[in-house]
Structure 1
Amino acid sequence: MATTDDVRLGEEPVVTRDASCLLALLEAIDDEGWDGVSARALLRFAREQIARPLAVDAGLRGAAAAQAEATAWQAMWMSMTKPALRRAQSPWGILWQTARRAVLAEVVAARYGTEPRRAWSLRRSTDGSDPMPIPISLDVLVDGGWEPTSVDGRAFEHALPDLTRVAVGALVAAGWAPELAARVVDAVIELPHPSNDPRSGALGWRRMARQFGLPPWQARRLCVALRGSSDWRGLFACVLADGPRAADSLPMRAALRATKVHRHRSPALAARLAELGGADRPQAEAA
């Protein structure tokens, strides 16, 4: 972790995604200016570790990805110059949101072939679908800039263990044995990002089926229920975004029940129907 003294020694500091490091770098930049070593390290980190992954995760490639990356990087730079960032409880989260908005603007502009403001207007007049896929893997959520609202770094260290505990508890409540539930959660957390294989939103379920002796349909539903799909947030993303209470919501309980009974609907469909209030009755009858 960089400190104020570290970043004034003339050597380029190591940047880590915690609030104290960011604040120390900004304080050093006050003395060095934006052409100093601290600014170079921070801006390069912002571009390579936040702007670039967001552009790629949005599905952009080539010139469009480069343009989105540059726009997001510039937006973060502007945000770094504002005093409000230093008072924020989660400054890295603010930078990530700033970059994501900039990338979204480029996605919409590329889709409609016009400047971002006009493109947003055209999008609102159509179907209103989200132009950027929901990042559903843990490495995208965490490495992409997600951090706890607390400035206490220990909260971040405990985020994934807490997520594991909540996910295991949710599977047990859905009828899974505790030991198997824990093994399933650990296995799904370690799966690679689904964007590496556009054919499946539950990459790795075949391997998990063999590993745990599960029917293929059940392994696939577990992956979808926990990690989500390209158009539906799974348990992991919901808990990271909304806290442990997300595991006890009616849609999520319906999704997890679908991992136990073959004739139930898929987790995503079960969750959507539960949101409309129509999932429990037909699935209860099917059981």
Structure 2
Amino acid sequence: MTILQAIIIAIIEGLTEYLPISSTAHMGFTAALMGMPESEFLKMFQVSIQFGAILSIVVLYWKKFFNFKNFDFSFYIKLACAVIPALVLGKLFDDKIEAVLGNQVAISAMLVFGGVILLFVDKWFKNPTITDEKQITLKKAVIIGFWQCLAMMPGTSRSAASIIGGMTQGLSRKAAAEFSFFLAVPTMLAVTVYSVFVKTWGENTATPMKGYEMILQDQQHITLFIIGNVVAFIVALIAVKTFISVLTKYGFKLWGWYRIIIGIILLVYFWNNPTQPVKENTSSVETTMIEHK
């Protein structure tokens, strides 16, 4: 992987992590279109740079996460409980998820299907009753956490699943999007920690390694890891602010049509190029939480 390729993938991650369009799918497609050969480091890199995107949310909403003057313990309880379904179900459905990983045609089809759903979301949930995170009960938070689990299907988008889940519980578009952002922090942090410090990459190869061992393997990997996270952080800061503004003003139709158009284009491309050597970038536990898509 070159520095330019790392920057491009990091830009894609920062742009799409919190949008309802599937960051995992977009990074996989980008790597395929750049002709990047598969490697354990590439897979780990695509997961680990989400740490930069996580930091963007913490920075943008730092008063929410570190409001020690008016400490709200219930905020952390709701996030902790909401993330449990993704952790548990991701492990239980490990084999089934693995069976879908790498099928770019199926992922492209999910982009289209999810786009069609987004076209009607605004009509389905017209009368929200919750406009602030403090109004979200623990029960509603857990239900949203279960909705997030729909992202176990690559191409679904963790953001889209959790936002729609929030709207089913009476949250306004803005409140649902922001709670999705908050929920992403413990979810994606768990993914990053698992990928870098726990998961053994290349178990069936002669040199299996932990993620941090691959990063520290040489100066090039260290440089790519640092640049990737910095770029993802900066781009995510801009993307989140823009997304909230566009979502509040225009709703989900714009993102729905985007998913449909891009999904159809990629569906045709990968249908005609079935040997494209690209696989989804995560294990089952990670995929559950990333879809982020």
TM-score range, shorter chain: under 0.3
Highest relative contact order (Cα 8 Å, sep 6+), 1 or 2? 2
